[in-house]
Amino acid sequence: MNSRALKPVAAIAAIAACCFVGLAYSIEGFNQGGQPTDSAQGVKAPTTAADPAIERGRYVAIAGDCAACHTDPHGGKAFAGGYALETPFGKLLASNITSDKTTGIGAWSEAEFTRAVREGKGRHGENLYPAMPYNAYVKVSDQDMHDLWAYMQTVAPVDKKVVSNQLPFPFNIRLMMMGWNLLFFDKTPFTPVAGASDQINRGAYLVQGLGHCAACHTQKNFLGGDKSDAFLQGGELAGWHAPEITGDPHVGVGGWSTQQLVQYLKTGSNDVAVASGPMAEAVTNSTQHMTNADLQAIAAYLQSLPGSNKAKPQPLAATDKVMQQGANVYLANCSACHNSDGKGINQLAAGLANNPALHSVNAQSLLTTVMQGGRGAVTLDNPTSGAMPSFAWKLSDQQVASVLTYIRNTWGNAAPAVTADQAAAVRKDLKLPAQLSADGASR
């Protein structure tokens, strides 16, 4: 989002879009063996099983991906905060939510904790910023909130003071969030999908609430609120495009099998796609540790959503000049991993043939991946993952645009052409080097 396009009074409300990313359906079970799994941040299960709520609460924390924001990945201790959320308006630091009584939440009551998570109100009634997805967590059940509270009290205290609000004036005025809440904060608790199976409703509860999937996968309006008619139909986040994840067969996951979706969420990859960017973090920290039953429920719910149902366009002709240039770039730089037929390597290099992630009108994530490179999710089932090198130094903006246009219109794919101007904008935003010339100098 371009902050210069926003009026100062309304701009702070867009932080929700610029930062990231259940009544009868309480958490059940952990891994297939019935035991909790250790999270990627090293958070260990409590040593005592005297209170089953603690173990259930630990799973709630995993499903809600709490550690992802509240643990600094650069050597920080679990839930001690300090992770910087960079926004166009300044910096927000995730708070310390360990049981420390001075700098954490050790002195809080359960009611104060619940109000913060589900209503976006701090201990003293101050407004939280929607970078904390309370607009999704409002759908978390009373039982799950109680269990989460029981678990959080067992988290080791860490004496670490975090000044969360580091935004410049006037964005640091929390009172401004009252207007945003009035416009966009729907306090309706989880409502089961009428006529749907228990499995689909379990998936709906996880997707809408704890998983807060809409934070990334739903397009925002200019004030940072979710567009009501675009639920899970794709959104933009910090240089990435989170694709549509509805049952739409062209741009969503309607063409995936349940097993493909479960494998993707459990391992970070399948024979079609490899999770990267913020999604890779979500898989590493959260979904890989969820039960297969819950992942199957998520898959069932997502595939039940009708989605945007946009008509599939006609692919560009292979004889098109840009397509021909893209084919040459692909064969020279991409085919070694993704194969000449675009089928990729299962759990290592994404398959490109008939891949819905390539069909979106927005090519932001593809441009970021090709130019910046990236690494797939690291999981227990796929510890080596796969990596994509940066091609910014090797390919010109036109070459990047042509190869993306080629893969988006080959092997059953069909999507708008990518332009050199779009590639140049991403190169500039990411501060990537220009293509090197034959003598080693940047062009």
Mean pLDDT by 10 residues, the chain (443 residues): 31 32 31 34 43 94 93 89 75 90 96 96 90 94 97 95 81 80 92 97 98 92 84 84 90 92 93 85 94 97 90 91 97 94 84 86 91 87 84 96 97 95 94 79 59
Residue 327 burial (10 A CB sphere; 0-12, 13-18, 19+) = middle
What token pair was written down for 125? 């009634």
Within-domain flag for 83: yes
Q: Which residue, 188, 214, 237, sits at the end of a domain?
A: 188
Find how far residue 267's CA is from the centre of its chain: 15
**Concatenated DSSP letters of 154-171:** TSPP-------EEPPTTT
Report which residue type is found at 94: A
Pairing assessment for the beta strands 374-375 and 387-388 based on DSSP bridges: antiparallel
Q: How far is CA 299 from CA 173, 256, 404, 406, in A?
A: 40, 9, 28, 30
Within-domain flag for 298: no
When computed from its CA atoms, the radius of gyration of the chain, rounded to whole angstroms, is 22
406 Cβ neighbours under 8 A, 6+ residues apart: 322, 323, 325, 326, 327, 329, 330
Q: How far is CA 441 from CA 239, 333, 428, 432, 434, in A?
A: 27, 20, 18, 14, 9
Which domain does 32 fall in, by range? 3-188
CA distance 207 to 229: 17
Give the pLDDT of residue 87: 64
Within-domain flag for 268: no
Within-domain flag for 146: yes
CA distance 356 to 230: 17
Alpha-carbon torsion (116, 122, 124, 126), positive or negative: negative
Residue in the block written with tokens 């991403």 = 426
Within-domain flag for 436: no
Give the pLDDT of residue 351: 87
The count of domains in the chain is: 2
Q: Which residue, 161, 188, 215, sits at the end of a domain?
A: 188
Within-domain flag for 312: no
Give the pLDDT of residue 23: 26
What token pair was written down for 426? 């991403």
Give the pLDDT of residue 173: 80
Contact between residue 54 and residue 148 where contact means Cβ atoms under 8 Å apart? no
Within-domain flag for 233: no
**What letters, b where the CB count within 10 A reaches 16 and e where it falls short, cover 295-312?**
bbbbbbbbbbbebbeeee
CA distance 252 to 435: 34
Q: Which residue, 188, 203, 233, sits at the end of a domain?
A: 188
Contact between residue 164 and residue 240 where contact means Cβ atoms under 8 Å apart? no
Within-domain flag for 181: yes
12 Cβ neighbours under 8 A, 6+ residues apart: 89, 129, 167, 170, 171, 173, 176, 177, 180
Is the preceding peptide bond at 356 cis, omega within 30 degrees of 0? no
The CATH number linked to 392 is: 1.10.760.10
Report which residue type is found at 432: L
User: Are 41 and 183 members of one domain?
Assistant: yes
Residue 283 burial (10 A CB sphere; 0-12, 13-18, 19+) = buried
Contact between residue 42 and residue 78 where contact means Cβ atoms under 8 Å apart? yes
